[in-house]
Amino acid sequence: MKTMSPGAQLSGFVAKYSPEVRSVARAALRKLKARIPGAIQVVYDNYNALAVGFSPTERTSHAVLSIALYPRWVSLFFLQGVGLPDPGRRLKGSGKKVRHIVLASASDLDHPEIRALIAVALSRSAIPFKSKASHGLVIKSVSAKQRSRRPV
Residue 83's SS3 state is coil
Q: Give me the pLDDT at residue 37, please.
A: 86
Of all residues in the chain, what percent carry a pLDDT higher than 90?
A: 86
| Count of CB atoms situated within 10 Å of the CB of 19 | 7
- Domain map (residue ranges) of the chain: 6-141
Q: What pTM was computed for the model?
A: 0.93
**Of 136, 143, 146, 144, which is closest to residue 53 (Cα–Cα)?**
136
Confidence label for 1 from pLDDT (cuts 50, 70 and 90): low
Residue pair 70/76 in contact (Cβ under 8 Å)? The answer is: no
Q: What pLDDT sits at residue 76?
A: 98
**How long, in residues, is the chain?**
152
Q: What is the pLDDT of residues 49-93, one digit of tens each?
A: 999 999 999 999 999 999 999 999 999 999 999 999 999 999 999
